[in-house]
C-alpha cells in the first residue's frame, strides 16, 4: 500500500483548497480495511468537532468529512468524523474492472468545509486466478498439403488477473518429431494469443494424428497455469486457400452509427472451382464477445455491419479478426484484421453538479465578488466536443468564452481549476428591486451542433436598512375652519419605506418649532403610527391665518435608523363669526337721536351710519338698509356708504319725528347683522351760511370732517380694546384655558370685565 500527495489551490474562497490524494489497496481485502487517513495524509487543519457544531452558518451537522461523489459507494466510504478511508466489503478486482488494465476508484470529499479532496484508489491485482481455456481439447484438421510456415490460430486462454499476474506466455509440449512450433503474438490491447506453426511437411500416410499439449502460464510468483490438449488430424486438403486483398484494413466510423451501417465489404478469392473455391466468412474463434455484440458478418458476402451501439467513450478503437475458408475438403482458412477507429460525436451533454451552495439567504449588503456556490462541470466527449463554455443565465459575465446575455441577474461565473467554477455576485444587490433569484448555470460544449445543459438553484436576498422613509409630498397643505373643536382631525402625512420588518416600520413626530413665542406642540399633534395630524386648540382666523411646521419620519432599523422630513402648512379658513358693530352714530341701547334743521331741503345729509366687522372678505363686506319707519319714503340710505339723506324737501310737514330702523348686514354664510333705531327730529333754525341748497333749498353744512374725527377716535378706542383682549387671551392660553374671542368681544360690548 502506498500514498502520494499533490496539492493545488482553488479560488473558491481565501481558505478553499483542492487536494489530490492517491492510494492503493490489494484486492481481496476484507471489510473494514483502513486504506488511509485523509486528514493526516492531506495535512488538513482540524475542523470543528461535531459536538461543537451549531445549526447556523450553513455548517453540516454530520461531521467534518462529507463525500460528494463516490464511484463505488458499496465498496468504499469515509468516516465523517475521523476522515478514515476504509473498505465496506471484499473487493474483487476482476469483477470490478474486468475490461480495464488499470482498476481505479475515485471519490470527492469535502473536508472541514474548506478543502476538496480528489481521491483515487487503485485496486492492486494479486495472483488469485489461474489461466483457463474455454474447453479441455482443441480439434484441428490440417491438410497434408499444408506448407511449412502455415499458421493456425489457437484458442486463447483467459486470465482475469491483470499486469504481471495476467497471462504471460504459452508453451507447446509432446511434439517429439519437431513437426509443429508455437508462435505467441500480441494484439493491440496487449493480450497474447498462440498460433500453431507447421515446421515440416506433414505426411498423412506416415502419421495421420498428432496429440499436442498447449500450456498457458501467468506471471505470478509462483506462476499459475492451465493446459489444453490439441488433437491434430492430418487429412487431405485443397491445395488453394482463400486469399484476402490485404492482410489488414483500417476503417473510420462515427460513433452511434445506426444499426445496419456497413463497416467494410471484405473480399477473399480462392482459385479452386466448385465447393473448393466457394468461400465462407466468419469471425475468428478468439474474437472477444464484445466485438460480436457490436458487429455482424455475412458468411457469404463478407459484409460487416454495425450490430450494437458504438460508443467512443467506452472504446475508441476496435479490432475484428476475420477468417475465410472454402467449402472443399480439408480447407485452410485465410485471416485478416479489420481495425475500426471510432470518430467521436457530440453525443454527451455537459454535466453540471453543485459541490457546495451557500446555505441560507444572502444579504443585500453583500459586496460584489461574494461567493454563493461552487460548481463542477464535466463532459464525457473529447476534443472540441468536450470543450466547455459556461455562464450564468442572464448574468453579466461568463466563463470559458461564452458571452453573457446581458440580463438582469447580478451574478457571474468564474472558472477556477479543473472544470470547477464559482458563482459570485457581479454587482450590488437590492432586495427592494428583487428579493429572490433563480440562478441558472448554462454549460455548452464546442460540438457541432453544440449541446447544452442547465441547472438552477434559488438565492433569497435578506433586507438591510438601506432606504430612508420617503414622504409622498414635500409639502402638505391642510385647511381648517376657524373656531374648530380641539382634537379635530386636520389631515395625514404619509412616508413609505420599502425595507422589511423593523427596517420599514415608520414612526412620525413633529420637529420642535415656534409660532411666535408659542411652541408648535400646543397647536398640533401627530399620530406616531399613521401620521394623522390633529388640532390641539381652536384657531381664530383673525389672529392666525396660517402656520407651518415639519414632520419627521423615522424607521426602526438597526443598528442606526434612517429618517426624512416634510413641511406641513395649515391654512385657517375664515368663518363668519363676527357680526357687524355699529359705531356711528353713537348708540345708547341701540338707539340714537338725530336733529335736522327745518327746511333742510331735498338731499340733506342727515347722518352717516358706520359699522365695523372683524371678518375678512365677503364676511366683512357690509350693506346698509332701512328696514322700518320709512313707509312715507322720507329718507334714503346709501347701501355702501351708509349715508342717510332726505328724500322730501318738507318732510317735517309730514311728521316732525321719524323713527328709522337701520340694519347692517354682512355677506358671510350665514349672514350676520346689526340694527339700530335712529330718531330723527325736526328743529327750528336755518342752515349755516355757505351751506348750499339742493333744488333751490340750502344744504346742511358738511359733516364729513367731524365724522372722520369721530371715526378715528372710535377706531383708536377699538384698537386699544382689541390689544387688551389679545393680552388676556394669551394669559388664558398659558393657563390651559380655551379663549373665545367672540365671547370676549360680547363682554366688551356689554361693558363687563
**238 or 418, which is more confident:** 418
Nearest CA to 682 among 601, 585, 608, 583? 601
Summarize the confidence of residues 383-395 as an average pLDDT. Answer: 77
> Which CATH number does the domain 3-124 belong to among 2.40.33.10, 2.60.40.60, 3.30.70.2740, 2.30.30.90?
2.60.40.60
Rounded-to-integer distance, Cα 731 and Cα 726, Å: 9
In CATH, the number for domain 137-235 is 2.60.40.60
Span 394-413, pLDDT tens digits: 654 445 444 333 457 888 88
Span 475-494, pLDDT tens digits: 999 988 888 889 889 999 99
Would you state the pLDDT for residue 595? 80
CATH architecture of 351-462: Sandwich (2.60)
Ordered by start, the domain boundaries in the chain are 3-124, 137-235, 243-343, 351-462, 470-573, 582-701, 703-753
**Residue 611: which residues within 8 A CB-CB, separation 6 or more?**
580, 581, 582, 583, 622, 624, 642, 664, 674
Rounded-to-integer distance, Cα 359 and Cα 344, Å: 40
Nearest CA to 664 among 699, 720, 624? 624
**260 or 388, which is more confident:** 260
Contact 217, 164 (CB under 8 A): no
Would you state the pLDDT for residue 742? 40
Would you state the pLDDT for residue 550? 93
Rounded-to-integer distance, Cα 240 and Cα 329, Å: 11
Least confident of 83-87, 234-238, 462-466: 234-238
Do 243-343 and 137-235 fall under one CATH topology?
yes
Would you state the pLDDT for residue 295? 94
Rounded-to-integer distance, Cα 604 and Cα 597, Å: 10
For the chain, how far is it from start to end, CA to CA, in angstroms? 118
In CATH, the number for domain 582-701 is 2.60.40.60
> Which CATH number does the domain 470-573 belong to among 3.30.70.270, 2.60.40.60, 3.40.50.720, 3.40.50.2300?
2.60.40.60
Contact 487, 536 (CB under 8 A): yes
Strands 362-363 and 452-462: parallel
What are the C-alpha distances in Å from 660 to residues 185, 276, 609, 681? 153, 163, 12, 11
Residue 306 has pLDDT above 70, yes or no: yes
Tell me how crowded residue 534 is: count the other CB atoms within 10 A of its CB. 14
- Mean pLDDT of the chain, nearest integer: 79
DSSP 8-state code for residue 485: P
Span 163-205, pLDDT tens digits: 777 778 888 887 667 888 888 888 776 778 898 898 888 877 7
Least confident of 550-554, 671-675, 700-704, 727-731: 700-704
Q: Does 3.40.50.300 match the CATH number of domain 243-343? A: no
Rounded-to-integer distance, Cα 549 and Cα 568, Å: 5
Would you state the pLDDT for residue 739? 37
Q: Report angle CA 90, 91, 94 to the nearest 5 degrees.
A: 135
Would you state the pLDDT for residue 509? 93
Residue 704 has pLDDT above 70, yes or no: no
Strands (E) in 112-241, as ranges, are: 115-124, 137-143, 151-153, 167-173, 180-186, 192-198, 209-218, 225-235
Tell me how crowded residue 203 is: count the other CB atoms within 10 A of its CB. 11
Would you state the pLDDT for residue 249? 94
Rounded-to-integer distance, Cα 279 and Cα 268, Å: 7
**36 or 445, which is more confident:** 36
Summarize the confidence of residues 435-462 as an average pLDDT. Answer: 85
Least confident of 2-16, 215-229, 262-276, 291-305: 2-16
Rounded-to-integer distance, Cα 633 and Cα 179, Å: 173
Span 547-592, pLDDT tens digits: 999 999 998 887 788 899 999 999 988 777 677 888 888 888 878 8
- Locate 445 and state its grid cell: 460544449
Rounded-to-integer distance, Cα 508 and Cα 533, Å: 10
- What is the number of residues in the chain? 753
At 45, the pLDDT band (50, 70, 90 cuts) reads low
Amino acid at each position: 500500500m502506498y500514498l502520494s500527495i499533490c496539492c493545488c489551490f482553488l479560488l473558491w474562497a481565501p481558505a478553499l483548497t483542492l487536494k489530490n490524494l492517491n492510494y492503493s489497496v490489494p484486492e481481496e481485502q476484507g471489510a473494514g480495511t483502513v486504506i488511509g487517513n485523509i486528514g493526516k495524509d492531506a495535512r488538513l487543519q482540524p475542523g470543528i468537532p461535531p459536538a461543537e457544531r451549531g445549526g447556523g452558518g450553513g455548517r453540516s451537522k454530520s461531521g467534518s468529512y462529507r463525500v460528494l461523489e463516490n464511484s463505488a459507494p458499496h465498496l468504499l466510504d469515509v468516516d465523517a468524523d475521523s476522515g478514515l478511508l476504509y473498505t465496506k466489503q471484499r473487493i474483487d478486482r476482476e469483477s470490478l474492472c474486468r475490461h480495464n488494465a488499470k482498476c481505479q476508484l475515485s471519490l470527492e470529499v469535502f473536508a472541514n468545509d474548506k478543502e476538496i479532496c480528489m481521491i483515487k484508489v487503485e485496486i492492486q491485482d494479486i495472483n488469485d486466478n489461474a489461466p483457463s481455456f474455454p474447453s479441455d481439447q482443441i480439434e484441428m484438421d490440417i491438410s497434408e498439403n499444408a506448407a511449412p510456415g502455415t499458421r493456425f490460430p489457437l484458442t486463447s486462454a483467459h486470465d482475469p488477473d491483470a499486469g504481471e499476474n495476467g497471462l504471460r506466455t504459452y508453451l507447446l509440449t509432446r511434439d517429439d518429431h519437431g513437426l509443429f512450433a508455437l508462435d505467441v503474438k500480441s494484439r493491440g490491447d496487449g493480450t497474447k494469443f498462440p498460433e500453431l506453426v507447421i515446421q515440416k511437411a506433414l505426411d498423412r500416410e506416415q502419421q495421420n494424428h498428432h496429440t499436442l499439449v498447449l500450456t498457458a502460464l501467468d506471471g505470478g510468483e509462483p506462476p499459475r497455469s492451465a493446459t489444453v490438449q490439441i488433437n491434430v488430424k492430418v487429412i487431405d486438403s485443397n491445395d488453394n486457400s482463400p486469399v484476402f486483398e490485404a492482410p489488414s484494413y483500417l476503417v473510420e466510423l462515427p460513433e452511434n452509427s445506426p444499426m445496419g451501417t456497413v463497416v467494410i465489404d471484405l473480399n477473399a478469392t480462392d482459385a479452386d472451382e466448385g465447393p473448393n473455391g466457394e468461400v465462407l466468412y466468419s469471425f475468428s474463434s478468439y474474437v472477444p464477445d464484445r466485438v460480436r455484440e457490436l458487429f455482424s458478418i455475412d458468411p457469404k458476402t463478407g459484409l460487416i455491419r454495425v450490430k450494437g451501439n458504438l460508443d467512443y467513450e467506452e472504446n475508441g478503437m476496435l479490432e475484428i479478426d476475420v477468417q475465410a475458408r472454402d467449402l472443399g475438403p480439408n480447407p485452410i482458412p485465410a485471416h485478416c484484421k479489420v481495425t475500426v477507429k471510432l470518430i467521436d460525436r457530440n453525443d454527451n451533454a455537459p454535466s453540471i453538479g453543485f459541490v457546495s451552495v451557500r446555505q441560507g439567504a444572502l444579504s443585500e449588503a453583500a459586496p460584489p465578488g461574494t461567493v454563493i456556490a461552487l460548481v463542477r462541470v464535466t463532459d464525457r466527449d473529447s476534443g472540441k466536443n468536450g470543450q466547455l463554455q459556461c455562464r450564468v443565465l442572464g448574468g453579466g459575465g461568463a466563463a470559458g468564452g461564452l458571452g453573457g446575455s446581458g440580463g438582469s441577474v447580478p451574478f457571474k461565473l468564474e472558472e477556477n481549476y479543473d472544470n470547477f467554477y464559482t458563482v459570485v455576485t457581479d454587482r450590488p444587490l437590492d432586495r427592494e428591486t428583487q428579493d429572490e433569484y433563480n440562478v441558472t448555470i448554462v454549460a455548452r460544449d464546442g460540438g457541432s451542433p453544440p449541446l447544452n445543459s442547465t441547472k438552477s438553484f434559488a438565492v433569497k436576498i435578506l433586507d438591510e436598512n438601506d432606504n430612508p422613509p420617503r414622504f409622498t409630498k414635500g409639502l402638505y397643505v391642510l385647511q381648517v375652519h376657524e373656531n374648530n373643536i380641539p382634537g379635530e382631525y386636520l389631515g395625514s402625512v404619509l412616508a413609505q419605506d420599502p425595507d422589511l420588518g423593523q427596517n420599514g416600520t415608520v414612526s412620525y413626530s413633529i420637529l420642535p418649532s415656534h409660532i411666535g413665542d408659542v411652541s408648535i406642540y400646543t397647536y398640533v399633534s401627530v399620530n406616531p403610527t399613521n401620521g394623522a395630524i390633529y388640532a390641539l386648540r381652536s384657531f381664530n382666523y383673525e389672529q392666525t391665518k396660517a402656520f407651518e411646521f415639519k414632520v419627521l419620519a423615522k424607521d426602526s432599523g438597526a443598528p442606526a435608523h434612517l429618517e426624512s422630513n416634510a413641511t406641513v402648512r395649515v391654512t385657517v379658513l375664515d368663518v363668519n363669526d363676527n357680526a357687524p358693530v355699529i359705531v356711528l352714530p353713537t348708540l345708547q341701547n341701540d338707539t340714537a337721536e338725530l336733529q335736522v334743521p327745518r327746511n333742510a331741503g331735498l338731499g340733506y345729509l342727515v347722518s352717516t351710519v358706520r359699522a365695523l366687522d372683524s371678518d375678512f372678505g365677503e364676511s366683512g363686506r357690509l350693506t346698509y338698509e332701512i328696514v322700518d319707519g320709512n313707509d312715507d319714503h322720507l329718507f334714503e340710505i346709501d347701501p355702501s356708504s351708509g349715508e342717510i339723506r332726505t328724500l322730501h324737501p318738507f318732510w317735517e310737514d309730514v311728521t316732525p319725528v321719524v323713527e328709522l330702523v337701520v340694519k347692517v348686514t354682512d355677506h358671510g354664510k350665514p349672514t350676520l347683522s346689526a340694527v339700530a333705531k335712529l330718531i330723527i327730529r325736526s328743529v327750528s333754525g336755518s342752515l349755516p351760511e355757505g351751506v348750499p341748497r339742493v333744488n333751490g333749498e340750502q344744504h346742511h353744512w358738511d359733516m364729513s370732517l367731524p365724522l372722520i374725527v369721530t371715526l378715528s377716535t372710535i377706531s383708536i378706542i377699538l384698537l386699544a380694546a382689541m390689544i387688551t383682549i389679545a393680552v388676556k387671551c394669551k394669559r388664558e392660553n398659558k393657563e390651559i384655558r380655551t379663549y373665545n374671542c367672540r365671547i370676549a368681544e360680547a363682554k366688551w360690548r356689554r361693558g363687563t370685565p
